[in-house]
Chains A and B, each alone.
Chain A
Amino acid sequence: MQIHFERTGGFMGRKISLSLNLNEIPAEQAATLRTLIEEANFLTIEDPPPDAESARDQFIYMVAIETDKIHHIIHTTDTSMPATLRPLIENLSSLAHSGRR
């Protein structure tokens, strides 16, 4: 399973991104991500454009998950994301941050 993550927008407008192959990262980290994906019911989340009618400077998140059989992509924002998705977004944001130095 591969995960692609991007965060754009925000006050600074800076993009951070991350691509992971769960078969190539430490087993514990991969297990955590699999759990968060499952708990988010990720594959059932639809991908409407983020509702940014009047919100400004919010982060815009993109998460894509790929396997041999599945390719599912979603976009969301801080104020529009389902609560069940937030732990996965926070985990991916943290991983993207930790790889910056």
Chain B
Amino acid sequence: MHSHHSIFCITPPHMLQEVSRNGTSAQREMAQRTLTASEVFRARRVSLGGGVKASPLASSLASAVSGGKQRTIYDAKQGSNLPGSMVRGEGDPASSDPAVNEAYDGCGTTYDLYLNAFGRDSIDNHGLPLNSTVHFQKGYDNAFWDGEQMVYGDGDEDLPVSERLFNRFTKSLDVIGHELTHGVTQYEANLKYSNQPGALNESMSDVFGSLVKQYQRMHTAAEADWIIGEGLFTSNVNGVGIRSMKAPGSAYNDPVLGKDPQPAHMNNYVNTVEDNGGVHINSGIPNHAFYVIAIELGGFAWEKAGLIWYKTLTEKLKADSSFMDAANLTFQAATELYGSGSLEEQAVQKGWAEVGITLSGPPATNTGCFNSVMRAIGLG
């Protein structure tokens, strides 16, 4: 899925400089990364060949692009400037601040799942450093991915204990997996953040966020709680978490927060302009389809259902894919992985049927261009 980056490998540096100044946002980013990598390799050559020691920055960058876990945690100290002050780097001893350690460890577990279950090296599959900021703003009951890093608030720490609804957002491992997965999606299908593609984007983050937690606990699909945001609510809230993949719409029912609005079936799809077209609401539908498939297949959910979803995210979905596209493409992925007529294929069909989506045949995938080229040169 990274073939669109390869143009930068054969582009001379002066042209990369031009692209880094005048290209689109994505082009600028890729050009800058290529230039940075080139600088690192030049520094390495100098260091190895000439006996000249590379600068600390070049050494640090060389380490960063060499792959492996590269976690850095920053502290915004309740302000809004990102990334804030660095408080823990890769391999550093644990901090006295639990939020720092939770962000560090959660990133590590997420990295491990992606590597061990799917062979993926970080967010971009090229060892991209994992940067996180904790203590963002004061009383900030949220976590987000800003396009480059993860950011976590402390919940309602500014309110009296009896009025607090939210704990700090690093407390929930699946939230960390959720935010990091937004980065993976950005580098892969790059699903648009509105309406059905946006809900699929959110659902991908919930699916892999939940798998991170299941992986850490070594829970099978049957043992898992399938709750997203477990531990985020204080005891003042009547709820077990933010969302339930097992039973969307049942995670909370509270006098202050209201009732979990997620649907589990297309019959209850919510048409709204708020929240980018209800991306955090309608994600309940593909979330539940994944849950049904994982239960149907049994065992550890990342081994089969997760692999089907990962293949779909990285090889098949497009930016504007709908729920129906996702259903057809996960079916296609199951066929490619496990064969036509396989139990896995049947499970995928059943999962989508339970949320009201009947498979209709595969749409064009994001490998269409690649396949056309392969056909043109006689290899397709």
Contacts of B201 in A (CB 8 A): 56
B371 at the interface (CB under 8 A from A): no
Asked whether A13 and B145 contact (CB < 8 A) given A8-B274, A79-B82, the answer is no
Q: Does A97 contact B (CB under 8 A)?
A: yes
Pick from B139, B147, B242, B281: contact of A55, CB below 8 A: B147
B256 touches A55 (CB 8 A): no
Bound state CA distance, A42 and B127, in angstroms?
43
C-alpha spacing A13/B161, complex, angstroms: 24
Interface presence of B265 (CB below 8 A): no
Partner of B144, one of A58, A93, A97: A58
Are A11 and B169 also in contact (CB < 8 A) when A52-B193, A56-B201, A97-B139 are?
Answer: yes
Interface assignment of A29: CB less than 8 Å from any CB of chain B: no
Whether A86 contacts B142 by the Cβ 8 Å rule is no
In the bound complex, CA of A14 to CA of B239 (Å)? 15
Tell me which of B137, B146, B279 contacts A13 (CB under 8 A): B279
In the complex, B213 has a CB within 8 A of chain A: no
Binds A, one of B53-61, B174-182, B339-347: B174-182
What distance in Å separates the Cβ of B30 from its nearest Cβ neighbour in chain A?
Answer: 13
- Any B CB within 8 A of the CB of A100: yes
A: number of interface residues (CB 8 Å): 27
Query: With an 8 A cutoff between CB atoms, is A71 at the interface?
Result: no
Contact A78 B144, CB 8 Å, known A11-B229, A11-B242, A11-B280? yes
CA distance A72 to B5 in the complex (A): 43
In the complex, what distance in Å separates the CA atom of A15 from the CA atom of B270?
15
Q: Is A56's CB under 8 angstroms from B256's CB? A: no
Complex alpha-carbon distance, A52 and B275, angstroms: 12
A23 at the interface (CB under 8 A from B): no
Cβ of B143 under 8 Å from chain A: yes
Docked CA distance A10–B274 (Å): 11
Q: Which of chain A's residues have a CB closer than 8 A to the CB of B281? A: 13
The verdict on B7 contacting chain A, using a C-beta distance below 8 Å, is no
Q: Contact check, A53 vs B25: say whether CB atoms are below 8 A apart.
A: yes
Find out whether the CB atom of A54 lies under 8 angstroms from the CB atom of B163.
Answer: no
Kindly list chain A residues whose C-beta atoms are within 8 Å of the C-beta of B186: 54, 56
A13 contacts B278, C-beta separation under 8 Å: yes
Assuming the contacts A53-B147, A55-B145, A56-B144, asked whether A14 and B257 have C-beta atoms less than 8 A apart, the reply is yes
Let me know if B159 is at the binding interface, CB within 8 A: yes
Q: Decide: A54 and B169 in contact? CB cutoff 8 A.
A: no
Question: B85 an interface residue at 8 Å Cβ cutoff?
Answer: no
A101 sits at the interface (CB 8 A):
yes
Write the residues of chain B forming the contact surface with A, with a CB cutoff of 8 angstroms: 25, 80, 82, 136-139, 141-147, 156, 159, 163, 169, 175, 178-179, 182, 186, 193, 201-202, 205, 229, 242, 256-258, 274-276, 278-281
With contacts A10-B141, A13-B280, A57-B179 known, what are 6 further pairs, Cβ within 8 A?
Answer: A8-B274, A11-B143, A59-B142, A90-B137, A90-B138, A100-B256
The 10 closest A-B pairs by CB, nearest first: A13-B280, A54-B147, A57-B144, A56-B182, A10-B142, A13-B275, A56-B145, A58-B144, A8-B274, A55-B146
